Amino acid sequence: MRIGAYEVIAVQAGTFGLDGGAMFGVVPRVLWAGTNPPDDHNRIAMCARLLVLRGPERTWLVDTGLGDKFDAKKNAIYAYDGMMPDEALRAADVDPDGITDVLLTHLHFDHAGGATRTDGSPTFPRARYHVQRSQLEWARDPTAKDRGSFRPDDFLPLYREGRFRLMDGPGKLDDGLEVVVVDGHTPGMQLPKLSDGEQTLLYTADLVPTTTHLRLPYVMAYDNNPLSTLEEKQRILSQAAREGWTLFFEHDVNCTACRVVEEGGFGKGEEVTI
């Protein structure tokens, strides 16, 4: 798919499983088990789908998957089957050396896990890494609620080496490319939005991890501020439905991208081929 000067490429970096109850918050299992069937450990299937935006001068990689820092026990707990993002890029015929910018939506391990190697070196040594300052500050000192979602080895080496370009709030990254910032899931989660005035694509990260989460009350129990997530979903999905945006899903194993419809509540519209 092309949007303006950018080639848009979806890259699959692996699959994993998370507890269905945690993924759907207050929504009863009988309501989500049909669309997201749990396994015998109550895990639902998730994927780590990365996004490449190849422009005339810069090539952006959005998120890096889980990487390879888990031991066998953790891999089994999360049913993780995946690869480092540079391998995933090669498998998708994208040269990892061509990545000039890595945009991390936030620093949870399933998003920033592949940002560094097990020895702490950057996976993309030639790239600038972009993260919101408020997210980095939070990740360095999280609450007990989401401490388990951060692995300091994913991001502290980058911070210590001064590799981060810290951003303060929403703003433009490049021609046609900007970030929307939301705080309900975790402070300073940034969602890249690419637009040429006709087509708009939003990478929804953990604001809308799967198409099932398009429904307003389907908010993860992981979220730090679920009422903020509700308000952010209402505002962003209303605009997306009105303006016909394409939503790109990081974690939906069955749907890469679709439009959203608003008929009473929000729901999945036409699928979009990336």
Which residue, chain included where needed, has tokens 């087509």?
A: 199
Q: What is the DSSP string of 167-192?
A: E-SSEEEETTEEEEEE-SSSTTEEEE
Quote the least distance from Cβ 223 to Zn ion, whole Å: 9
Residue 125 vs 148, nearer CB to Zn ion: 148
Give the contact letters, 90-129, x = binds to Zn ion (CB under 5 A), - = no: ------------------x---------------------
Q: Which of 178, 192, 198 is nearest to 61 (CA)?
A: 192
Residue 108 vs 130, nearer CB to Zn ion: 108
Single-letter amino acid code for the residue at 271: E
Residue 104 vs 260, nearer CB to Zn ion: 104
- Residue pair 142/150 in contact (Cβ under 8 Å)? The answer is yes
Count the site residues for Zn ion by CB under 5 A: 2
Residue 63 vs 101, nearer CB to Zn ion: 63
Give, as ranges, the residues between 199 and 218 that touch Zn ion (CB under 5 A): 206
Quote the least distance from Cβ 5 to Zn ion, whole Å: 30
Instruction: Give the range of 28-36, 48-56, 198-206, 260-268 binding Zn ion by CB under 5 A.
Output: 198-206
Quote the least distance from Cβ 106 to Zn ion, whole Å: 6
CA–CA distance, 66 with 112 (Å, rounded to integer)? 7
Quote the least distance from Cβ 67 to Zn ion, whole Å: 15
Tell me phi and psi for residue 15, to 5 degrees.
-130, 155
Q: Indicate the angle between helix axes 133-140 and 152-160, nearest 10 degrees.
A: 120
Quote the least distance from Cβ 152 to Zn ion, whole Å: 16
First to last CA, the chain: 5
Give the CA distances from residue 19 to residues 33, 114, 211, in Å, rounded to whole numbers and listed in that order.
Answer: 12, 22, 17
- Check residue 174 for interaction with Zn ion (CB under 5 A): no
* Residues near Zn ion, by CB under 5 A: 108, 206
